Amino acid sequence: MLVTKPAEEFDAVVIGAGFSGIYMLHQLRKLGLRARLFEAGEGVGGAWYWNRYPGARCDSESYFYCFFFSDEILQEWTWSERFPAQPEIERYLNFVTDRLDLRKDMTFNARVTAAAYDEDTKRWTVETTAGDKVTARYVVTAIGGLTSTATNLPNIPGIEDFKGEWYHTGHWPKEGVDFSGKRVGVIGTGSTGIQAVPEIAKTAKHLTVFQRTPAYIMPAKNHPLTEEYNAAIKANYAEIKAKVRTHWGGQPYDAPPYSFEEMDLAKARKVQEEFWDAGGLKVIQAFKEGTRVPAVREFMEEFFRDKVRSIVKDPVKAEILEPKGYPMGAKRIALDTNYYETFNLPHVDVVNVKKTPITNFTETGVMVGDKEYPLDILVLATGYDAVTGPFRKMDIRGRGGIKLAERLEDGPRAYLGMSFAGFPNLLAISGPCNPALSTNVPASIEHDVEWITDLIQYCEKEGFTAVEPTQEAEDEWTEETQSKAADSVFTEADSWQFGSNVPGKPRRFLIWLGGLHMFRERCEEVTKAGYKGFKFTR
């Protein structure tokens, strides 16, 4: 039975202990506010706590997939690999938590289920699965956009009939899964499936990959970092930080060096080959014209298909795996380590489930058309009900009892991707209509946390009891989010970014596509104009 704990009063509640929650709690403490953080997991990490599937690894390079707000932490922490794996990021976030002595204000194993605003007391009441019922003047959601609370299970009948083990990658058991000697099936070939497949293949007796859409995949070319490299990075953090702050995607990369138009195809191919060899997200950043220019994009698409044909020896498998049917960039591009090579192993197969969809699960496997694939373990790498999903899982009620879940039913809406009309003092880090998920996420998170901190500080200083955006400001930002997406290549495919991976979810773009550098400017303009678009109550 759930025992309700005695009510406690806080200035602020933070929901979630990933990158966002950790930094937000630190900032609130610095403001001198009494804050409490609730986290569903047993420990800190957020997405990096739950995503323990084999091969889970970051697609951003470690030296900039981190907090920049503390020079001390930048100097004290040393990354071991170019692209950090889940355990290392989890260790990093634990290190930061302890370094800032945040744990004492965190409650674990407590999933927030409800938050309701009382217009008389001007306080939120927040409830958790652990029986907490606390009140606070501010609530900051630090729940992430792709999270374990809102995993996307495929709408294929019969999962309950399957007698083997099955796991969603976003809820991976802490103790791991033993694939040895087992017939394993993986459904889903997004970033997650692409990372998991080579690792599962190492021990499984047989692996069948059920692929609906072939992704465009770049080689990570991951490697351990040397002492010299780390020393050079640490000596250079001021410059790196400045670049992160001014880059579209929050990455400290220089602008593409070459002009596609000014070279012949043979030269372009040589250049592209060099970028391929360097690996990482820079692979598609060789040409100034960028992939929005169809000629550049088509050149690269063909380059990627050639690569698949040259790596995968079986032409039938290669044909299934070749990315096609939509333009590159219309779905997230993934990084791999030995993904294509894995299909050269005799015990690894790929099945095209776009051509013949999965019809149902049986007690013993998966039916594709009239053929059954017998399985002992099924891995669902089928993604998330992104961005709005995690908000809609909580019962959040604002003025007059309006429900945030209902407000978000028709698609994402928020002002600056951080605030909601009718929900005073509810602030969201990387909320709907925010650029975070199109960028190096920690860089966006740092921005949002700092902007929210300034807003709260302003309220405290001015003696305002409540701040919320006007309906008009929220509507405008919401529409701007859609119009930016309408001009983008994303319109040309189904993706989680458009909500089209979840049956019944409206096709509305979830992310503000103006780039982090422009978002920073827009938020600054709002601040300088006396928090334009917000209304304050004393």
Give contact residues for ligand NA7 (rule: CB under 6 A). Answer: 146, 154, 156, 187-193, 210, 212-213, 332, 353, 358, 381-384, 494, 496, 501
Tell me the CA distances in angstroms from 463 to 164, 229, 460, one per residue in order. 59, 49, 5
Query: Cβ closer to ligand NA7: 279 or 323?
Result: 323
Minimum separation from the CB atom of position 193 to ligand NA7 (A) = 6
Specify the residue, 62 or 213, whose C-beta has the smaller distance to ligand NA7.
213
Report the residue number, 331 or 407, with the smaller CB distance to ligand NA7: 331
Q: Are 178 and 205 in contact (CB under 8 A)?
A: no
Least separation in angstroms between CB 246 and ligand NA7: 23
Tokens 């991951």 correspond to what residue?
Answer: 222
- For ligand NA7, the closer of residues 260 and 384 by Cβ is 384
Q: Which amino acid is at 31?
A: L
Cβ closest to ligand NA7, residue 398 vs residue 412: 412
| CB burial string 159-174: b at 16+ within 10 A, e below | eeebebbbebbbebee
Residue nearer to ligand NA7 on the CB measure, 280 or 469: 280
Minimum CB separation of residue 42 from ligand NA7 in Å reads: 22
User: Is 49 or 138 the residue whose CB approaches ligand NA7 more closely?
Assistant: 49
Kindly state the smallest distance separating residue 434's Cβ from ligand NA7, in Å. Answer: 14
Query: Of the two residues 125 and 195, which places its CB atom closer to ligand NA7 in the complex?
Result: 195
In the complex, the smallest distance separating the C-beta of residue 195 from ligand NA7, rounded to whole angstroms, is: 8
User: Residue 283 or residue 358: which is nearer to ligand NA7 going by CB?
Assistant: 358
Q: How far is CA 479 from CA 347, 411, 448, 450, 509, in A?
A: 49, 11, 20, 25, 10
Separation in Å, CA 359 to CA 211, 213, 354: 14, 17, 11
* Contact by Cβ (8 Å): 216, 333: yes
CB 203 to ligand NA7: min, Å: 21
Q: Element (H or E) spanning 275, and its range?
A: helix 265-278
What CA–CA distance (Å, rounded) separates 506 from 518?
Answer: 27
Q: How far is the CB of 458 from ligand NA7 (least distance, A)?
A: 33
> Please, which residue, 97 or 213, has the CB nearer to ligand NA7?
213
- Measured in whole angstroms, the distance separating CA 457 from the mean position of its chain's CA atoms is 28
Residue of 407, 427, 479, 390 whose CA lies nearest to 149 = 390
Helix (H) or strand (E) holding 469: strand 466-469
Give the 3-state secondary structure of residue 262. coil
Residue 346 structure tokens: 């005799």
Nearer to ligand NA7, 190 or 280 (CB): 190
Smallest distance from ligand NA7 to CB 417, Å: 16
What span, in angstroms and rounded, lies between the C-alpha atoms of 109 and 441? 25
HSE of 395 in the Cβ direction (CA atoms, 13 Å)?
A: 9
Smallest distance from ligand NA7 to CB 191, Å: 4
Please count the CA atoms within 13 angstroms of the CA of 323 that sit on its side-chain side.
27
- Tell me the closest approach of the beta carbon of residue 38 to ligand NA7, in angstroms: 23
CB of 212 to ligand NA7, least distance (A): 3
Cβ atoms of 225 and 82 within 8 Å: the answer is: yes
Alpha-carbon distance of 77 to 103, in angstroms, equals 19
User: Residues of 469-503 as b/e, b for ≥16 C-beta within 10 angstroms?
Assistant: beeebbeebbeebeebbeebbbeebbbbbbbebbe
| DSSP code of residue 529 | T
